[in-house]
Structure 1
Amino acid sequence: MHKLHFSIVINKQKEHVWNTMLDIDTYRLWAEVFAPGSNYVGDWSQGSKILFRASDETSGMVSRIKENRPYQYLSIEHIGIVQDGKEDTSSKAAKEWAGALENYTFKEIDGTTEVLVDIDIEDEYKEMFQEMWPKALQKLKELAEK
């Protein structure tokens, strides 16, 4: 598994950027870069289970919120996959993702916010996510700065 790092500076305060990133209506817009119709079911509370799904709702990730420090830091731990509309935490494919983290850090500097993204990624998806993440962060920036 590889660790990838991305960042972007957004010309808004961190509370606004945090809310833009996590609110379901705006989440769908910036996360669409990864899969059309991207959405989630669940909430961002620490310890909560959350499902990240594509529009067909038959594929995605089963995750839990490992840590949530509002407006500062969010850690998501992947525990499995959604396959054929069912949660799977025991197959070989699901176990490959188990324990992978997505960490988001929000640093406010003079009214702007730097968003730092650190993710664990399987080898076969490394190139794809290296292309997608900068596009997703640019979309988040556009939405937040509207």
Structure 2
Amino acid sequence: METLEYQIEINAEPEKVWTVLWSDISYRQWTSAFTEGSFYVGTWEEDSIMKFFDPENNGMYSRVLKNDPNKEMIFLHLGEIFDGIEAPQDWGDATESYLLEETEDGTKLTAKIKSSEEFKGFFEDKFPNALQNVKHLSENQL
């Protein structure tokens, strides 16, 4: 596992960035950088299972390890979903975390992904665009 880290400065308060990251409508917008039509099913409560889908009902499922509102969200990826069917994977500590730090000008958002080599190129290609989407939504939505 390799830890990939991406950061972006956003001219909006952490509460606004948090809402953009995890509310249904804006989540669909910023994650379009990964797959157009992405959505989730579940709640962001700690220890709950979240399912992340593309429009064809394929994706992955994860356990929410930490949800500290407006500060930190961490989930552990557990497996893939094919045609709506869960397929557990042995990905070890494949975590994805989002840390929001209040700054003088707004928020520094840091995303850290523990990834296997097979997904590294995908994340390096897509994550910067996804964070730009978060920045745009956070700075321009009412």
Q: TM (normalized to structure 2)?
A: 0.94
Q: Which amino acid aligns with 2:36?
A: P
Aligned to 2:97: 103
> Aligned equivalents of 2:121 and 2:86: distance in 1?
26
Aligned to 1:27: 27
Aligned to 2:5: 5
Segment of structure 1 superposing worse, 122-131 or 46-55: 122-131
Aligned ranges 1:1-146 → 2 under 5 Å: 1-57=1-57, 59-89=58-88, 94-95=89-90, 97-146=91-140
SS of residue matched to 2:33: coil
Q: TM (normalized to structure 1)?
A: 0.92
After TM superposition, give the deviation of residue 85 of structure 1 in Å: 1.7
* 4+ long deviations beyond 6 Å: none
Root-mean-square deviation (Å): 1.0
SS of residue matched to 1:113: strand
Structure 2 unaligned spans of 5+: none
SS of residue matched to 2:8: strand
After TM superposition, give the deviation of residue 46 of structure 1 in Å: 0.6
Contact 1:79 1:99 in 2 (8 A): no
> Aligned equivalents of 1:40 and 1:99: distance in 2?
21
Contact 2:56 2:83 in 1 (8 A): no
Structure 1 unaligned spans of 5+: none
Alignment deviations for residues 92-142 of structure 1 (CA, whole Å, 9 cap, x no partner)? xx22x3431001100001241000011011201211211110000001100
Q: Which amino acid aligns with 1:77?
A: L
> Aligned equivalents of 2:77 and 2:119: distance in 1?
15
> Aligned equivalents of 1:99 and 1:53: distance in 2?
21
